[in-house]
Chains A and B, each alone.
Chain A
Amino acid sequence: MDVIEVSGLSKSFGKVKALDSVSFSVKRGELFGLIGPDGAGKTTLFRLLTTLLNPGTGTASIDGLDIIKDYLKIRSRVGYMPGRFSLYPDLTVEENLIFFASLFGVKVEDSYDLVAPIYKQIEPFRTRQAGKLSGGMKQKLALSCALIHHPSVLFLDEPTTGIDAVSRGELWDMLQKLKEKGITILVSTPYMDEASLCDRIALCNEGRILGIDSPQGIVEKFNLKLYAIRADNMFTLLEAARQVEGVAECYPFGQTHHLIADEKFDIHRFTEQLEALSNLTIKPTKPAIEDVFIKLMKQ
């Protein structure tokens, strides 16, 4: 049996269907990512799995424990880091850690080996109030507190939102290390570029899961011909490219536009038709998670 098993889970708030029949499972020691924009139902899913909410329909289990029947048992063996900062801002770094340890009836020393690599980074500030830490340090403290009782499963709801790219990188490095220690991690993020750091990912949108696979597997499913194009005037390029025969789709993608070609597409004809544009370049490119996401959203 897998550590997290979710089957047909749904949850509505009034008329809004926050989660619509979601099913997936996470293996022990896996780093599983829920990738999707705001409103995809990620937070609702986390709250269901951490037993903060009861599902409308469907079932789910953590470590074989049912989220409705055995919710008290689940609470003592999961670690949870909510999407917003949820430590005591007026307690110091150290006090927060001690407080959370006592909540779970453990001593800080008991699981210090697990927490130490993360906590050491903020230890120089241990007498500083948690509310006065920088975004990245807050997240490190929150992670330390979520780990203090040596949970078997760790739930992290958008841990990288609102912190800068450096802190974000550090956080993902820490998750890799925790994974190596056998902790199962379910993490959510709205940033597609973080997907590649997970073992497996579920792409979510509007309460549904669009696809589940390894990042590599997800990308391989993209079976269309993809080109990256650019020119000096990107908007003119976009509009012109869409008029060319054989161009199924064209949309902005970072420094370039991505162009999806159908069978009628001919690269020479394309450059010929758009030769008026200065510095036009076109080259085949590999799809990214975002390309797959767009494709799945349109289906």
Chain B
Amino acid sequence: MLIVMLIPVILMVMFGFAISTEVNNINIAVVAPERTGAVKDVVGRIAHNDYFTFYGYIDQDQIDKKLRSGKVSVVAVFASNFDRRMEQISAGLPSKPVIQFIVDASNVNTASASIAYLQSILPGTASQQAMFETRMLFNPQMKSAYNFVPGIMGLIFILVCAIMTSVSIVREKEVGTMEVLLVSPVRPVKIVFAKMIPYFVISCVILVMILLLAHYLLDVPMSGGVWGIFSLSLLYLFLSLSLGLLISTVTKTQVAALLISAMVMLVPVLLLSGIIFPIENFPKFFELLSNIIPARWYIAAIRKMMIQGAALAAVWKEGTVLLGMTAVFIGVSLKKFNDKLE
């Protein structure tokens, strides 16, 4: 009952104040061969803007690494002899672009917002802005598919594995068959794992389907290697299954299992895992809270591997977190699981 009353309040507060689709705290790095006054002036404007966080000056050869690791989302590359070219431009003479913005477009929302902000804060009139050039990295066509495919994966596996598993085990309790199963030589752990297998198989099929569709239909690159994505997804499947098992051990009715799944899993996954709302913009509290959402780690890792081309080794942190969570879920549910009725 409390949950029913609490959830609307939390949702309202989260949407109203804490979470917004607006992008801010965009990390930007600068590459400038000469740090002249004019360059510093432009960098200063960017750094003082609320939307951007100035990461610092970096070298040309670090651009790819910084973007790939997700440390920065935009790199501004100033041309050499920036001052002279600016003068040419002011004088109305034709010139090559003087600043190149390299944008991580794996998240389409963030990318397009950054470009819009940058254009509005840089000096000069609209016509002069021809001298800026933007380059989209990882997702040059700004396809939104790149954005939602990892999110969908994070959601679907929780749905199929966790929710379906929990409900199907709880149904045995509700129908009364669990009572008969328990009074048989078959160990309950075996029963439970047997119940999980079909959902695991279904999820594997879904996984293969999603990967095929994403690659061939939506042209998602998977540049980080299919096997990496596959093994991380398998880990996430296990995690979802153990979460389902945990729910089924603590609930007695299908309705309760569904409620818990929806209220405690689905809503947070949708809101806090970065599927819809960028995590970077969360207030501190929700950012911390998002750390306990498994989907957040999975989606982040998959984004890196699918779109930015990170290898499995590059997402070791996310992988470790997921592994740890799986261990905790399995541990707790096995401890709570009981071959008696109380």
> Which residues of chain A have a CB within 8 Å of any CB of chain B?
47, 50-54, 72, 75-76, 78, 80, 82, 84-89, 100, 103-105, 145-146
> Are A75 and B177 in contact (CB-based, < 8 A)?
no
> Which residues of chain B have a CB within 8 Å of any CB of chain A?
175-177, 179-186, 340-342
> Are A82 and B341 in contact (CB-based, < 8 A)?
no
Closest chain-B Cβ to A80's Cβ sits at a distance in Å of: 4
> Are B184 and A52 in contact (CB-based, < 8 A)?
no
> Are B175 and A80 in contact (CB-based, < 8 A)?
no
Given contacts A53-B340, A53-B341, A54-B340, whether A89 and B175 have CB atoms under 8 Å apart is: yes
> Are A86 and B175 in contact (CB-based, < 8 A)?
yes
- Nearest-neighbor residue (CB-CB) of A84 within chain B: B176
- Cα distance A291–B316 in the bound complex, in angstroms: 77
Task: For B177, list chain A residues within 8 Å (CB).
Answer: 86-88
- Nearest-neighbor residue (CB-CB) of A88 within chain B: B177
- Cα distance A154–B185 in the bound complex, in angstroms: 15
Closest chain-A Cβ to B56's Cβ sits at a distance in Å of: 63
- Cα distance A145–B181 in the bound complex, in angstroms: 11
> Are A78 and B183 in contact (CB-based, < 8 A)?
yes
Chain A CB within 10 Å, residue with most, of B177, B179, B181, B183: B183
Closest chain-A Cβ to B342's Cβ sits at a distance in Å of: 6
> Are B185 and A104 in contact (CB-based, < 8 A)?
yes
Task: For B181, list chain A residues within 8 Å (CB).
Answer: 103
> Are A52 and B179 in contact (CB-based, < 8 A)?
yes
- Nearest-neighbor residue (CB-CB) of A142 within chain B: B180
Task: For A89, list chain B residues within 8 Å (CB).
Answer: 175
Closest chain-B Cβ to A52's Cβ sits at a distance in Å of: 4
> Are B176 and A85 in contact (CB-based, < 8 A)?
yes
Return 13 A-B CB contacts under 8 Å, by A number: A47-B341, A75-B183, A75-B184, A76-B185, A80-B179, A82-B180, A85-B175, A86-B179, A86-B180, A87-B177, A88-B175, A100-B180, A103-B186
> Are A52 and B176 in contact (CB-based, < 8 A)?
no
Given contacts A84-B176, A86-B175, whether A52 and B185 have CB atoms under 8 Å apart is: no
> Are A51 and B180 in contact (CB-based, < 8 A)?
no
Closest chain-A Cβ to B191's Cβ sits at a distance in Å of: 9
- Cα distance A50–B185 in the bound complex, in angstroms: 12
Task: For A84, list chain B residues within 8 Å (CB).
Answer: 176
- Nearest-neighbor residue (CB-CB) of A13 within chain B: B342
> Are B176 and A82 in contact (CB-based, < 8 A)?
yes
Task: For B342, list chain A residues within 8 Å (CB).
Answer: 53-54
Q: Which of B175, B176, B184 contacts A104 (CB 8 A)?
A: B184
- Cα distance A88–B341 in the bound complex, in angstroms: 19
Chain B CB within 10 Å, residue with most, of A86, A88, A89: A86
- Cα distance A84–B180 in the bound complex, in angstroms: 11
Closest chain-B Cβ to A245's Cβ sits at a distance in Å of: 54
> Are B176 and A80 in contact (CB-based, < 8 A)?
no
- Nearest-neighbor residue (CB-CB) of A145 within chain B: B180
- Nearest-neighbor residue (CB-CB) of B341 within chain A: A52
- Nearest-neighbor residue (CB-CB) of B185 within chain A: A76
Closest 10 CB pairs of A and B: A86-B176, A76-B185, A52-B341, A80-B183, A103-B184, A50-B183, A84-B176, A82-B179, A86-B180, A86-B177
> Are B340 and A52 in contact (CB-based, < 8 A)?
yes
Closest chain-A Cβ to B266's Cβ sits at a distance in Å of: 26
> Are B182 and A52 in contact (CB-based, < 8 A)?
yes
Task: For B340, list chain A residues within 8 Å (CB).
Answer: 51-54
- Cα distance A148–B173 in the bound complex, in angstroms: 22
Closest chain-B Cβ to A119's Cβ sits at a distance in Å of: 17
Closest chain-A Cβ to B161's Cβ sits at a distance in Å of: 21
Closest chain-B Cβ to A108's Cβ sits at a distance in Å of: 15
> Are A51 and B183 in contact (CB-based, < 8 A)?
yes
> Are A76 and B184 in contact (CB-based, < 8 A)?
yes
- Cα distance A257–B172 in the bound complex, in angstroms: 46
- Cα distance A47–B183 in the bound complex, in angstroms: 9
- Cα distance A54–B182 in the bound complex, in angstroms: 14
- Nearest-neighbor residue (CB-CB) of B181 within chain A: A103
Given contacts A47-B341, A52-B341, A88-B177, whether A72 and B183 have CB atoms under 8 Å apart is: no
Task: For B341, list chain A residues within 8 Å (CB).
Answer: 47, 52-53
Chain B CB within 10 Å, residue with most, of A75, A78, A146: A75
> Are B185 and A105 in contact (CB-based, < 8 A)?
yes
Task: For A82, list chain B residues within 8 Å (CB).
Answer: 176, 179-180
- Cα distance A212–B340 in the bound complex, in angstroms: 29
6 further A-B pairs in the complex, CB-CB below 8 A; given A51-B340, A75-B184: A47-B341, A53-B342, A85-B176, A86-B176, A86-B177, A86-B179
